[in-house]
Amino acid sequence: MAYQKEYGGRNDGPASAHTLSADATMLNHVFVGTNLWDSPLRKSDIADMPKRSLDTIVNNRSLTSNEWLERHETLYVRNEQLIDTARAFGLRRSELIAGGRYDRALNTGSFFINEAGKLSVATVGKGGKYRLAEVTEEYAPKMRVYYAQYARPISELPEEKEFKENLGHYERFFSQNNHDIPIHIHRAYYAQTKFDEINRQYRGQNDVYKKITYDRNGQKVIRSVSGSEQIKIGTKEGSYGAFMQVSENLGHNRLDVLNNYLK
């Protein structure tokens, strides 16, 4: 099937590997699901199918953010502000780049600054969750160059309803949704870097969190956990409270999700 040549992507160019993969999945759902095809279309059957694996995977392991930058220097230079912002704040693609029915992309109304001069991004993540994501120490100087001129005092942070209502009133920074840039690994870089930073500084011995687990009968069990309790998630060991703060910065409210980032 000469799918790659016959089906053009944006600007009538050849479709990307991401587009072809998504379309193959859609076709399988439709034609296999309605019994019009006996077997699913395999991506390897598509003529001239571009290779995605070399961009993000090596030796059956996902590239780290730093490894990706080393292998894609030219692409990084062309998209430096976008990639650095992803690494600095840990934002999702949908929180960075304009597009979609509900546009929540980074804009001139996203930035807030505290009394110490540290930037945070107010954003709306999955499920409409409103949160602040604080910049890492590593990228704080560079992000001030990019965005300090737009930042409002943290004391002026609007309530959730007001923030969401005004999302469309500001200018977006990024509008090109380049799927050659794997935002998720740069988001993971943020999680790892931010955890090391918070855990090193953590002084929340008096913090108490509610931890929900389930017993062998499937019954919910809620217990109190001290913020200073030491635990391990992925490759990281540290304070329960530090992990919780990283999770909140990423837009999650439970710690098991951090396994996806702290590898």
Q: Is the pLDDT of residue 127 over 80?
A: yes
Contacts of 234 (CB under 8 A, 6+ apart): 258, 259, 261, 262, 263
Q: What is the pTM of this model?
A: 0.76
Record the tokens describing residue 151, joined without a space: 């930042």
Contacts of 57 (CB under 8 A, 6+ apart): 63
pLDDT of residue 102: 61
Q: Which residues pair with 57 in a beta bridge?
A: 62
Dist. CA 95–CA 20, nearest whole Å: 24
Task: Report the mean per-residue pLDDT for the chain.
Answer: 83
Q: Are 4 and 49 in contact (CB under 8 A)?
A: yes
pLDDT tens digits, 76-96: 999 999 999 999 999 999 999
pLDDT of residue 24: 66
Dist. CA 178–CA 98, nearest whole Å: 11
> Which residue's structure tokens are 């999945």?
25
Dist. CA 122–CA 133, nearest whole Å: 7
pLDDT of residue 203: 83
Contacts of 241 (CB under 8 A, 6+ apart): 202, 204, 207, 209, 226, 227, 228
Chain-centroid distance, C-alpha 168: 21
Q: Is the pLDDT of residue 45 over 70?
A: no
Q: Is the pLDDT of residue 11 over 50?
A: no
Show contacts of 52-61: CB within 8 Å, 24+ apart: 52/17, 52/18, 52/21, 55/180, 55/182, 56/182, 56/185
Q: Are 239 and 202 in contact (CB under 8 A)?
A: yes
Query: What residue type is 56 in one-letter code?
Result: T
Confidence of residue 225 (pLDDT cuts 50, 70, 90): confident
